[in-house]
Amino acid sequence: MESRAILNADGHAEQPAPPDDARILGIESSCDETAAAVVAGGQTILSSVVASQVDIHRKYGGVVPELASREHLRQIVPVVREALGQASVALPDVSAVAVTRGPGLVGSLLVGVTYGKVLAMALGKPLIPVNHLEGHVHAVLLEAHAARRQPDLPAICLIVSGGHTILYRVIGESTKVVANHSNGRDSIQVFHYARIGGTRDDAAGEAYDKVAKMLALGYPGGPIIDQLASFGDPRAVRFGETKMRGNVHDFSFSGIKTAVFYHLRKHAELHAEIAARAEALARGEKKADALKPLCSKATLDLVASFQRAVVGDLVRRTMSAAEEYKSRSVLVSGGVAANRELRASFEEVAKREGVEVYFPSRALSTDNAAMIAAAAYPRYLAGEAADATLNAEANLPLA
């Protein structure tokens, strides 16, 4: 490759840093998505393949663990092969194998961990275990870095998905580089996390899924409620603000879910349309276009009010944490981060309060393996690796 001298701000010649050719193969199988990706230099996605099992779990209205692990077993080899093919990277050219170690469904995690372990051993490459939640943080950092945006640290991070609703402080620390692919650097920033709050009952995405189930809107509930909410009046049904005793940075979504349940019990006139939608779902209709004509104004208002209450709570508690910890940056990640009202509301409040808010693209909001490879990158450069004793950990905490 051609090497050119460039001039720095003082007019002195500077050698460009050699390209960082670390190619990390990421593998993710913590829940109901089998995913593999190749990420170069920690921030360039060469491929990201996600095989979703949503069609398998839809008729049960939630993930069935036994079916999930069986499907991961069927998908893992073709998905990894596809990711390598799309990236035009041959297995021997992979620098390291990164795999989600937890948290998640143990049977699902075991498929990825076992496969990743055997692959890394066969290739003689480092095996980097990654916490799924750290992956979600890196889904944001990956795209921010690629866009040359550098969130101010320590930042506040909200991870909000079907399984989690947690607030962390993200702290950066400079660490010595020991791996070859150093891009000329001798230090790299690694990240530490401090948990400052989280849900005491349901995760926000779980509340979306359960409310969608009660209303016969299909599975997963988030995307359809997101679409239907824009047609309703968010002030029509009043849900009281959730008060938290003790840690004010905690969340609770079971109250609002129960409020929807009692609302439906009280409004028997909504039951016929619920039965009609259940029939439509059984016929395989699942798109908002097909279900919206089967929703009365009262249902659209209920959906809009539910979403307004959840979004309001998420934004209020996250921004109050940012204020308390004097953070100038807020990161929002996980499946619910794809929600349009959540994004718009965060943008508006953050702008008013002079805080920068960072979201992943919608594709990287939900589970994927690019975020796992990106999270592994600084750990790989810092020389962290697991041995053959690595095991899946269903309840692995991030902090």
The reply to whether 161 sits near ligand KG4 by the rule CB under 6 A is yes
Task: Kindly state the smallest distance separating residue 381's Cβ from ligand KG4, in Å.
Answer: 27
Residue 28 binds what, of ligand KG4, Zn ion, none (CB under 5 to 8 Å, by partner type)? none
Among 42, 107, 162, 218, binds ligand KG4 (CB under 6 A): 162
Does residue 161 belong to the site contacting Zn ion (CB under 5 A)? yes
Q: Which residue number, 285 or 393, has a Cβ lying nearer to Zn ion?
A: 393
The smaller minimum CB distance to ligand KG4, of residues 327 and 339, is found at 339
Q: If binding is defined by CB under 6 A, does position 338 make contact with ligand KG4?
A: yes
- 8 near 14, Cβ under 8 Å? yes
- C-alpha–C-alpha distance, residues 265 and 379, integer Å: 52
Cβ-Cβ contacts under 8 Å for 371 (sequence gap 6 or more): 26, 28, 135, 136, 138, 139, 142, 360, 364
Q: Decide which of ligand KG4, Zn ion, none touches 165; Cβ closer than 5 to 8 Å per partner kind.
A: none
Distances (CA, A) of 279 to 170, 209, 286, 290, 386: 46, 18, 11, 12, 50
Task: Identify which of residues 131 and 161 has a Cβ nearer to ligand KG4 in the complex.
Answer: 161
Binding residue for ligand KG4, selected from 222, 232, 312, 360, defined by CB under 6 A: 222
Residue that is written with structure tokens 């002195």 in the block: 12
134 binds Zn ion (CB under 5 A): no
Choice between 373 and 385, CB closer to ligand KG4: 373
What is the DSSP-derived secondary structure letter of residue 166?
E
Binding range to ligand KG4, per CB under 6 A, among 35-43, 139-147, 150-158, 159-167: 159-167
Q: How far is the CB of 116 from ligand KG4 (least distance, A)?
A: 19
Q: Is 232 in the site for ligand KG4 (CB under 6 A)?
A: no
Applying CB under 6 A, the span of 121-129, 219-227, 260-268, 322-330 interacting with ligand KG4 comes to 219-227
Asked if 22 and 87 count as a contact pair (C-beta separation under 8 A), the reply is no
**Residue 302 and residue 90: Cα distance in Å, rounded?**
52
How many chain residues are in contact with ligand KG4, going by CB under 6 A?
19
Residue 358, SS3 per DSSP = strand
Strands, E, within the chain: which ranges? 6-7, 13-14, 23-28, 33-40, 44-52, 96-102, 127-131, 155-160, 165-176, 187-198, 329-333, 356-358
Task: Give the nearer residue to ligand KG4 in terms of CB position, either 179 or 349.
Answer: 349
Within positions 354 to 373, which residues make up the interface with Zn ion, using CB under 5 A?
Answer: 367
Residue 221 binds which entry of ligand KG4, Zn ion, none, with Cβ cut-offs from 5 to 8 Å by kind? ligand KG4
List of residues 6+ apart from 45 with CB closer than 8 A: 37, 38, 39, 142, 370
Closest of 245, 165, 269 to residue 208, by C-alpha: 165
Residue 223 sits in the site that holds ligand KG4 (CB under 6 A): yes
Q: Reading across the β-sheet that carries 44-52, which strands appear in turn?
A: 44-52, 33-40, 23-28, 96-102, 127-131
Which of 44, 230 has the CB closer to ligand KG4?
Answer: 230
Instruction: State the minimum distance, in angstroms, from the CB of residue 206 to ligand KG4.
Output: 6
Partner touching 339 among ligand KG4, Zn ion, none, CB below 5 to 8 Å by kind: ligand KG4
Residue closest to 308 by CA, chosen among 339, 332, 277 = 339
Give residues 307-336 in contact with ligand KG4 (rule: CB under 6 A): 334-336
Whether 68 and 105 have beta carbons less than 8 Å apart is answered as yes
Q: Which does 226 bind (CB under 5 to 8 A by kind): ligand KG4, Zn ion, none?
A: ligand KG4
Residues 362, 333: Cα–Cα separation, whole Å: 10
Cβ distance to Zn ion smaller for residue 305 or 368: 368
**Sign of the C-alpha dihedral, residues 398, 343, 29, 31?**
positive
**163 lines the binding site for ligand KG4 (CB under 6 A):** yes
Residue numbers of the site for ligand KG4 (CB under 6 A)? 31, 161-163, 205, 208-209, 220-223, 226, 334-336, 338-339, 366-367
